[in-house]
Amino acid sequence: MNAIISASELASDLAGPNPPVLLDVRWQLSVAKAAGEPPFDGRAAYEAGHIPGAVFVDLDRELASAPGGKGRHPLPDTGEFGAAMRRAGVSSGRPVVVYDGGQGWAAARAWWLLRWTGHPDVRVLDGGLTAWEGPSETAVPDPAEGDFSPAPGALPLLDADGAAALARSGVLFDARAGERYRGEVEPIDRVGGHIPGAVSAPTTENVGPDGRFLPAEELQARFKALGAADGRDVGVYCGSGVSAAHEVLALAVAGIPAALYVGSWSEWSSDPSRPVAVGPDPQ
Determine which one of 90, 238, 250, 262 is catalytic: 238
238 annotated active-site: yes
Residue 228: how many CA atoms within 13 Å on its side-chain side?
27
State the Cα–Cα distance between residues 157 and 171, nearest whole angstrom. 14
Kindly give the interhelix angle for 243-253 and 105-116, rounded to the nearest 10 degrees: 70
Radius of gyration of the chain, Cα coordinates, nearest whole angstrom: 18
Catalytic residues, by residue number, are 238
